[in-house]
Amino acid sequence: MAALLEYTHRDSFLHHLHPATKLLWSIAVLVLSFLTDRPLWILALLLGNLLLAAAGGVLKRMLPVLRSLAIFAAILVLMQVFLIDEGKTLFYLFPAFGAGRITDTGLQLSTLAALRMLATVSTIPLLLLTTRMTDLAAVLVEKCRIPYSYAFMFLTALRLIPTLLDRMEQVLQAQAARGYRTDTKNLLRRILLILPLAIPLLVSTVQKIEQTALSMEMRGFASGPRRSYREIKMQPADFICAGLLMLAVSISIIVQLI
């Protein structure tokens, strides 16, 4: 299985935007989601990410990531909703024992946190699917003045989950060729079957890290000043989008202060 967050070439408006503009969109969504306590506004931000993905032709590639994020958001709600005692009691999960009390405040706050996570994190696959890593690295180093070693660590962290998913798929295929079956619909049984594969996944990941470190050393990484000769210029559409994003954030901050 190809990595879920690999750059997907499309001839779309979103792909032609400057990487800095898309980074600004991610920051704007993060700021806007924490400026409001209204779930509908945060859902609107999430819907905006989905509409942008559809306009860029990468919505199909983004859906598996969103499903994983939705599962994590549900787990986040379950972990938080029982820890908040404030508010009016809605019901008990185990009424016979008086355990598992769920309040309206707890449900609202946990749902709000999950929606914020979905809205903000969903900008990352949108950025990766529509931006070449070389372009993003060039912008971080040349425009944002971030040291190239830190930019490399940032981009490597973004690629960590897709790399692990790709490695896990390779391990599953290798084990399936040996007759090891994990295609069960029982989620608990599937987890128990996959757990023993953590060791070969860890070993293959360490080998990949060693290969990457050796390759970096052979290329003289961090041996002196570096410069990218790839220059990416801002277009009029980038200035318009950046201005609209800054205007939206400014208006939201003013509204909150009034």
Residues in CB range of 116: below 8 A, 6 or more apart: 33, 34, 42
pLDDT-derived band at 230 (thresholds 50, 70, 90) equals low
186-220 tens-digit pLDDT = 666 666 766 777 777 777 777 877 887 788 777 77
By CB atoms closer than 10 A (0-12, 13-18, 19+), residue 201 is middle
The pair of structure tokens assigned to 103 is: 């309040």
155: burial class by Cβ within 10 Å (0-12, 13-18, 19+)? middle
How many Å separate Cα 142 from the centre of its chain? 24
Rounded Cα distance, 70 and 47, in Å: 14
12-40: pLDDT as tens digits: 888 888 888 888 999 999 999 988 888 88
Q: Which residue has the higher pLDDT, 38 or 154?
A: 38
Q: Using an 8 Å Cβ cutoff, are 173 and 184 in contact?
A: no
The pLDDT value given to residue 184 = 64
Residue 195: which residues within 8 A CB-CB, separation 6 or more? Answer: none
What mean pLDDT do residues 128-154 have?
Answer: 78
* Chain segment 81-96, per-residue pLDDT in tens: 777 777 777 777 767 6
- The domain segmentation of the chain, as residue ranges, is 1-158+236-258, 161-227
Convert 165-182 to b/e letters by CB count within 10 Å (16 or more is b): bbbbeebbeebeeeeeee
- In the chain, the DSSP E strands lie at 89-94, 99-103
β-bridge pairing 89-94 and 99-103: antiparallel
Long-range contacts, stretch 154-163, CB < 8 angstroms, 24+ apart? 158/5, 158/124, 158/128, 159/3, 159/5, 159/133, 161/5, 162/3, 162/4, 162/5, 162/6, 163/3, 163/205, 163/208
Q: Quick one: pLDDT at residue 47?
A: 92
Average pLDDT, the chain: 78
d(CA 20, CA 230): 15
Quote the pLDDT of residue 2: 44
Whether pLDDT at 3 is above 80: no
